[in-house]
Structure 1
Amino acid sequence: MANIISSKIADFIVRFPPFDSLKTDEISSLSEEAEVLYFKKGESVFKHKEKARPFIYFLKEGQVLLRETVDAQKKLIDICDEGELFGVRAMLTGNPYVFEAFCQEESLVYAFPLSVFKPIVESNNNVSLFFASGLASGQKPTGLNTLYRQSDPDKVSDFLSWQKPLEELSEPLLLVKSNTTIKSAALEMTAKASNGIVVTNEEGKAVGIVTDTDFRAKVAGGTFSIEDPVSTIMSTNLIAKQLGLPLAEYLISMLKHNIKHLLITKEEEVVGVFSQQTLFSHLQFNPFSILYNIESAENVEKLCFHRNNVDHFLRYYLEQNIKTAVISQLITTINDALIKKAIQFSLAALDEEKYYRPDVPFAWISLGSEGREEQLLRTDQDNALIFGNVNAAQLNYTREYFIQLARRVNGILFQAGFAYCPANMMARNPDWCLSISEWKNRFEGWIHSPEKEALLLSTIFFDYRYIYGEEELVQMLNSFLKNEVQSHKIFLNFLAKNATKNPAPLSFFKNFVVERSGVHKEEFDLKARALMPLTDIARVLCLEAGNVTIKNTVERYRFLAEQDKSRKELYLQAAQAYEFLMHFRASEGIRNNDSGRFILIKQISKFDRQVLRNSFEPINELQQMIELRFQLNYFS
C-alpha cells in the first residue's frame, strides 16, 4: 500500500515546480518519505511564531491562507493553491513561522521531511533558483503585485471616459412647433450652431427631431419646399435617455437603434439632444466606423475585411476592462449588421441569377450564444430561418429558395470567420428552414415528448433572436412557445433536470475539476462546467416565469431578481459571475488564439484562480435550488 501511495504522490508532484526539474530518484525518495495530512476547514497547518517543524508543506487539494497577525488583526499575506509549497522561510532559516497557515477549505497536504528535501535544494541548481527567486508561497520580497492585473496608465483616461457620466450638454436645446416652416427652423439652427432641433406639438411634447441630414436629404434634393412645415421632414424615431448615464449607455443606444441623435431628458423633461458627433469627441476609440463600414460595404470581400477589424476592437476593450455587458452589446450590434448585409448580398445574388423570389415573408434568427447576445469571440454559426405558411403545392419550391438563400448567407459568414456548425444547426439545413407552422409543430414535439435529443435542441433553439425580415413571424413563435410551456409545465421539470447534468466546477476539496482524458486532458472546460450551467438555469427559470422574450443570460438573472425578491442577491451574484466568466473566456481566447473554452489552470495567475472559484459559488446554490423547486429526485 505504501508503494502505491508514494507512486501517486510522485505522479502528482512532478507536474509542479520545482519538482518538475528533479531527477527520478529524487522524486522517489521524497514521495516515499512524505506524510499525507488532512485538515478540516478552519484548522491550521502551523501557527504564527510557532516553532518550525522539520517539514516543508505541499498543498495537494484545498486552499490554505498565509496570514500575519498585526495589532491583533489577521492580515492576509498570500493564498496557496493546489501544487504550491509553503513553510519555506522556516525551512531555509530554521526560525519560527512568521505566518499562520490557515485552511480556508478542507485540505490535503503532503509534508516532505527536511532531512530529504534540504539536500536536494542544496545540490540542485534549478531548485535553489526557484527558492532564491521567491517563487514559493510565503516568499514575497518581490512579485506580490504580479498576482494582480495592472492597467496601463496611458490607457486609464480612455477607460474612464467610457464610465464618465454625461453631466451636462454643450449645445443649447432648440424647440420649434411642428407648424414652423422649414426655412425658419433652418435659420434658427444655423444661428445657434446646433446640429439638431426638437419638434414639439401644441402641448409641448416632443414628437420629432430634425438634423442637418434631414435638410440635405429632403430639402436640398427638392423633395420638400422651404415653406413647408418642419414636421414634414422630421424623424419620428425618438429614443430618449436620462441625463447622467455613462457615455457607454448612449453609445449602445445609438448603435442598437441605428440612429445618430438621442433626446436627453431630466426628470422626464427633454433638456437637449446628444449627437454621434459629440460622442466622438468624448471617446477616443469607437465602433461607429466599423459599423458604418460594414453597412456600406460594396462587396463580400470588403464586408469580411471590415469584420476582421472587430478583433482589434475587442482586444482593446477587454484590456481596458470595459464592462462585459457593454462589450457584448457592441459586438452583437456589429454581428447583426454583418448578418443583415450578408442576407442583402445573398438576396441580390439570387435575383441576379434569376431565381424566382416567392412572395412569402421570412425571418432570419440567430441561436445559441449569438441569440443570447453573448458571442464575443467568433465561434461556429447557429442560425435558422422561418418563412410564412404556403399551400402544399408551393412548399417545396419555397423551402428550396430559402435554403439557397441560407447557403449563401452561411457561406458569407464563413468567409467572415464564423465556422460552420459541426452539428449543421444552420439555416441551410432543411431541418432548420421551416414554415411558421412547421416550427410550431417542432416546438410542440419537443415540449410534449422531452426526450434527451429534444431537450438538447430546446436549449439551443429556445434562445432564438430575430435578426432580419418579418419580425411578426418571431412574435408568433414567441406567443406559441409561451402558451405551450405554460400548459405543459412538466416539460420544465425535464429541462431543469437537464440543467443540472453538468458536473460541478470544483471538487470536494475545491480544486478545479479538469478533463481526465482526450485532447484536453488536464484542462478546465469553462463552457461546460461554468457557463452552460448558469445559462441553462436562467433559461428554465425564465420559461417558468412566462418570459420567452429575454434571451441574454445576465438580463434573465436581472429579470428573475426583480421577480423574486427573496433570491434577489443570489440572482444578481449569478449575473455578475456570468459576466466575469464571459470576459475571462474572451480574454483567454484572444491570448491563446482559440475559443477560450479550455484552460490550463496552472498557466493562469493565482488571483484569477481565486476569482474563478468565487464566480462558481452561485452555480451550486442555484442547482440545489432548482433540484428542490422542480422535485428532480423524481425524474430519472
Structure 2
Amino acid sequence: MANIISSKIADLIVRFPPFDKLEKEELNKLSEEAEVLYFKAGETVFKQKEKAQPFIFFLKEGQVLLRETDGQEKKLVDICDEGELFGVRAMLTGNPYVFEAYCEEESLVYAFPLSIFKPIVDANNQVSLFFAAGLASGQKGAPQHTISSHNYRNTGSDLLSWQKPLNEFKESLILINSSASIQSASQKMTTHSANCAVITDEKQRAVGIITDTDLRVKVVSTALSVQESVSKIMSTDLVTKEKGLPLAEYIISMMKHNIKHLIITEKEKVIGIFSQETLFSQLRSNPFAIIYSLESSENVEQLCYHRNKVDQFLQYYLEQNIKTSVVSQLITTINDSLIKRAIQLAISDMESEKYYKPKVAFAFISLGSEGREEQLLRTDQDNAIIFENVDAAAINYTREYFTQLGRKVNKILFESGFDYCPADMMAGNPNWCLTLSEWKNRFSGWIHSPEKEALLMSTIFFDYRYIYGKQKLTKELDQFLQKEISSNKIFLNFLAKNATKNPAPLSFFKNLIVERSGKHEKEFDLKARAMMPLTDIARVLCLEAGNVNNKNTIERYLFLAENDNSRKELYMQAAQAYEFLSQFRAIEGMRNQDSGRFIPINEITKFDRQLLRNSFEPIYDLQQMIELRFQLNYFS
C-alpha cells in the first residue's frame, strides 16, 4: 500500500515546478518519505513566528491562506492553490515562519522532509534557481538574507498580484466605428458615462481612441462640426497588449509610452481598456504617482524628495520576488523621468541666468548599467550629450552651452543620490559632450585601433541609450556603429578577448575567489567576476549578430537564444543567471547600504554560496565558446 501511495504522490507532483526538474530516483525518494496531512477548514498548518518544522509543504487539495498578524488584524498576504509549495522561506533560512498558513477549506497537504528535499535543492541547479528567483508561491521572500517585510506593510500586499495574469477589466468598453460622426460618438460616451472610446474598423480592430479632452480641445475650442467623422479627432498613436498578461506588463507599457489608456486585445480584436484610473485602483503604492510627482516637480528639492520615495518600495518589490527584469524596467522608467525633469530644470535655470540657447538639437544619453536598463540601486552616473553638427564658428559656444547644461544636470542627479562618476564620464565633461560627427569619429577610432583604453571605452559607450532630446541623433549613431563593426570584424575578436579578461569566479576547488588585499579583502567581487563577464559576452555576441539596438543583458541573451537554436539552452541559462545575480546584488546592497558589488563571504549561508556557484556555470561555457569562436589564442 505504501508503494502505491508514494507512486501516486510522484505521479502528481511531477506535473508541477520544481518537481518537473527532478530525476525519477529523486522523485521516488521524496514521495516515499512524504507525510500526508489532513486539515479541517479553520485549522492552521503552522502559525506566525512558530519555530520552523523540518518540512516543506505541498498543497494537494483545498486552499491555504498565508496571513500576517498586524496588531489585532490578520492581513492576507497570498493564497496558495493546489499544486503550490509553501513554507519556502523557513526552509531556505531556518528562521521561524513569517506568516500563518491558514486552511480556508478542507485541505490535503504533502509534507516533504527537509532532510531529503534540501540536498536535492542544493544539488540541482534548475531547482535552486527556481527558489532563488522566488517562483514558488507562498513565502516568496528572498533566499539570501530573509529581509523582513515588517517595515514595509504600508506599501500594500497588493503588489503580490503583479505577476498574476489579469483577465478582467472593470472599466466599461465603448467601441465606435470609424465612420461614425463626432456627435454620435459623444452621445454614446455620455450615455455610458465613459471618458474615452476606442475607434475600430469593420473587424473590431483598434484604429484610434478619443477622450473627453479630444472633444473639448479638438471640437469645442476649434468649432469643428459635430457631423464630421470621428476619425478627424481620434488619436492614432495606440499601444495595445494581449489579454491575460501579468499586471506588471501593462504597467510597464503605460509608463514607457507615457499613456493614460492601454487597449487590450485578443487576436487583434479589442476586448477591454486599461486606464490610469484602473491602475490606481489596483495599486495603492503605484509607480505612476511617483512619476507624476517627478514630472511635476518645480525645483530640485521636490525632485529629490519624490525620488527618495522609490527606495522604500524597491526592497519590498525584490523581497516579494517580482521578477528582477520587471523591477529594473520600473526603476529605469522612474530614473528616466528624474533625468528628463532634471534636464528641463537645468535648461530653465540657464535661461534665468541669461545663457543664450543655441538653436541646435541635442540628445542626452545614459551609459553603463543605466544605459542597459539594469540599474536597481542608485550608483554613480554615466551619461553624455550628442548635439547636431555646427560650423566651426559656432562650435566653441555650442559646446560650452551643452557642457554647462550637462554639469547642471549632473549636479541635480548628484543631489538626488547618484554619485559623480569617478572617471568623469559625464555629460558635464567636454570630452563627452560632442557633435554627432565627433561621436562617429570616436567610435570609429576605437573600432579601428582596439587598444586597451579603446576597448574599455567601447564596453561603456556602446551601451548608450536615448533619454531626452532628438532621438534621431542616437538612431543615426546606431546605424553608423552597425556599419562600422560589420566592415571591421577583427574588432570583435579584440572585444571578445576583453570579455574573458576577468578571473574565473571559482578556484580549482570550487571556492569563491575573493580579493586578497585592500579595502575588500576576503570579499567576493560580484560585479567584476560574475556580472561583467556575462554582460561583456552578451554585448560582443549581439554586435557580431548586427544587433546594436538591444542593450539590456537579459534581452541580449533572449535575442541570441531566439536566433541560435544550437545554443538556446546556454543563452537561456545565462539570462536566468544574470537575473538572479542582479537580484542578489540589489538585496546585498540594501542590506549593507552600499552598491552590493562586494559580498562578505563569511556573512552569507552555505546555501547562498551554492546558489552563486550554480549561477556561474554559464560563464565557463560561454567563455569557452567565444574562445573557439573568435580564435582568441591568436590574440594577445
Alignment TM-score, normalising by the size of structure 1 = 0.75
Shift of 1:223: 6.6
Q: What's the counterpart of residue 576 of structure 1?
A: 576
Q: What's the counterpart of residue 591 of structure 2?
A: 591
| Aligned amino acid, residue 162 of structure 1 | W
Say if 2:296 is the partner of 1:296.
yes
Change (3 A) 1:223 1:328: farther
Contact 1:516/1:522 (8 A) holds in 2 = yes
Change (3 A) 1:503 1:268: same
In 1, distance between residues paired with 2:282 and 2:604?
Answer: 35
Contact 2:171/2:278 (8 A) holds in 1 = no
Q: Partner of 1:590: helix, strand, or coil?
A: helix
Shift of 1:202: 6.4
In 1, distance between residues paired with 2:171 and 2:318?
Answer: 33
Change (3 A) 1:610 1:149: farther
In 2, distance between residues paired with 1:248 and 1:71?
Answer: 35
Contact 2:204/2:269 (8 A) holds in 1 = no
Q: Partner of 2:363: helix, strand, or coil?
A: strand
Change (3 A) 1:411 1:507: same
In 2, distance between residues paired with 1:610 and 1:325?
Answer: 22
In 1, distance between residues paired with 2:232 and 2:635?
Answer: 63
| Aligned amino acid, residue 378 of structure 1 | R
Shift of 1:313: 1.7
Shift of 1:157: 5.4
In 1, distance between residues paired with 2:543 and 2:335?
Answer: 26
Q: What's the counterpart of residue 247 of structure 1?
A: 247
Report sequence identity in percent: 67
Say if 2:176 is the partner of 1:176.
yes
Contact 1:151/1:320 (8 A) holds in 2 = no
In 2, distance between residues paired with 1:319 and 1:223?
Answer: 55
Judge which range, 169-178 or 456-465, deviates more.
169-178
Say if 2:620 is the partner of 1:624.
no
Q: What's the counterpart of residue 386 of structure 1?
A: 386
Q: What's the counterpart of residue 444 of structure 1?
A: 444
- Report 1:322-471 matches (<5 A): 322-471=322-471
In 2, distance between residues paired with 1:73 and 1:508?
Answer: 37
Judge which range, 382-391 or 341-350, deviates more.
341-350
Q: What's the counterpart of residue 61 of structure 1?
A: none
| Aligned amino acid, residue 353 of structure 1 | E
Change (3 A) 1:274 1:521: same
Change (3 A) 1:157 1:377: closer
- Report 1:488-507 matches (<5 A): 488-507=488-507
Q: What's the counterpart of residue 566 of structure 1?
A: 566
Say if 2:540 is the partner of 1:554.
no
In 2, distance between residues paired with 1:165 and 1:245?
Answer: 5
Change (3 A) 1:71 1:328: closer
Q: What's the counterpart of residue 515 of structure 1?
A: 515
Deviation digits for residues 126-158 of structure 1 (CA, Å, limit 9, x no counterpart): xxxxxxxxxxxxxxxxxxx99895986989953
Q: Partner of 2:418: helix, strand, or coil?
A: coil
In 2, distance between residues paired with 1:489 and 1:228?
Answer: 57
| Aligned amino acid, residue 268 of structure 1 | E
Q: Partner of 2:440: helix, strand, or coil?
A: helix
Change (3 A) 1:423 1:146: closer
In 2, distance between residues paired with 1:571 and 1:307?
Answer: 35
Shift of 1:279: 2.4
Change (3 A) 1:599 1:183: same
Contact 2:507/2:513 (8 A) holds in 1 = yes
Deviation digits for residues 376-417 of structure 1 (CA, Å, limit 9, x no counterpart): 111000001111111111111111111111111111111111
Q: What's the counterpart of residue 15 of structure 1?
A: none
In 1, distance between residues paired with 2:470 and 2:405?
Answer: 15
Contact 1:197/1:210 (8 A) holds in 2 = yes
In 1, distance between residues paired with 2:389 and 2:148?
Answer: 55
Q: What's the counterpart of residue 544 of structure 2?
A: 544
| Aligned amino acid, residue 400 of structure 2 | E
Shift of 1:490: 0.5
Q: What's the counterpart of residue 610 of structure 2?
A: 610
Consecutive unaligned residues of structure 1, counting only runs of 5 or more, are: 1-66, 78-97, 106-144
In 1, distance between residues paired with 2:568 and 2:485?
Answer: 24
Shift of 1:212: 3.5
Judge which range, 512-521 or 311-320, deviates more.
311-320
Q: What's the counterpart of residue 186 of structure 1?
A: 186
> Which has the greater radius of gyration?
1
Q: Partner of 1:420: helix, strand, or coil?
A: coil
| Aligned amino acid, residue 158 of structure 2 | D
Shift of 1:159: 4.4
In 2, distance between residues paired with 1:486 and 1:519?
Answer: 42
Deviation digits for residues 51-110 of structure 1 (CA, Å, limit 9, x no counterpart): xxxxxxxxxxxxxxxx9x979989999xxxxxxxxxxxxxxxxxxxx99x99x99xxxxx
Q: Partner of 1:262: helix, strand, or coil?
A: strand
In 1, distance between residues paired with 2:30 and 2:274?
Answer: 54
| Aligned amino acid, residue 330 of structure 1 | L
Give the total of aligned pairs. 510
In 1, distance between residues paired with 2:272 and 2:250?
Answer: 13
Shift of 1:196: 2.5
Deviation digits for residues 248-307 of structure 1 (CA, Å, limit 9, x no counterpart): 100000000000111111012122211121223223432110000001111111011111
Change (3 A) 1:71 1:620: closer
Q: What's the counterpart of residue 58 of structure 2?
A: none
Contact 1:496/1:626 (8 A) holds in 2 = yes
Q: Partner of 1:298: helix, strand, or coil?
A: coil
Change (3 A) 1:187 1:567: same
| Aligned amino acid, residue 458 of structure 1 | S
Shift of 1:163: 1.4
Shift of 1:220: 6.2
In 2, distance between residues paired with 1:386 and 1:341?
Answer: 18
Deviation digits for residues 522-553 of structure 1 (CA, Å, limit 9, x no counterpart): 11111001110000000000000000010000
Shift of 1:230: 3.1
Q: Partner of 1:502: helix, strand, or coil?
A: coil
| Aligned amino acid, residue 163 of structure 2 | Q
In 2, distance between residues paired with 1:410 and 1:328?
Answer: 22
In 1, distance between residues paired with 2:401 and 2:347?
Answer: 10
Q: What's the counterpart of residue 212 of structure 1?
A: 212
Shift of 1:180: 3.2
Contact 1:287/1:313 (8 A) holds in 2 = no
Q: What's the counterpart of residue 310 of structure 2?
A: 310
Alignment TM-score, normalising by the size of structure 2 = 0.75
Change (3 A) 1:217 1:291: farther
Contact 1:147/1:606 (8 A) holds in 2 = no
Contact 1:377/1:586 (8 A) holds in 2 = yes
| Aligned amino acid, residue 422 of structure 1 | P
Deviation digits for residues 580-621 of structure 1 (CA, Å, limit 9, x no counterpart): 111111111111111111110121223322211111111111
Q: What's the counterpart of residue 86 of structure 2?
A: none
Shift of 1:356: 1.5
Change (3 A) 1:600 1:245: same
| Aligned amino acid, residue 303 of structure 1 | L
Shift of 1:210: 1.5
Judge which range, 188-197 or 239-248, deviates more.
188-197
Q: Partner of 1:596: helix, strand, or coil?
A: coil
- Report 1:109-128 matches (<5 A): none
| Aligned amino acid, residue 335 of structure 2 | N
In 1, distance between residues paired with 2:620 and 2:394?
Answer: 51
In 2, distance between residues paired with 1:277 and 1:71?
Answer: 48
Judge which range, 564-573 or 188-197, deviates more.
188-197
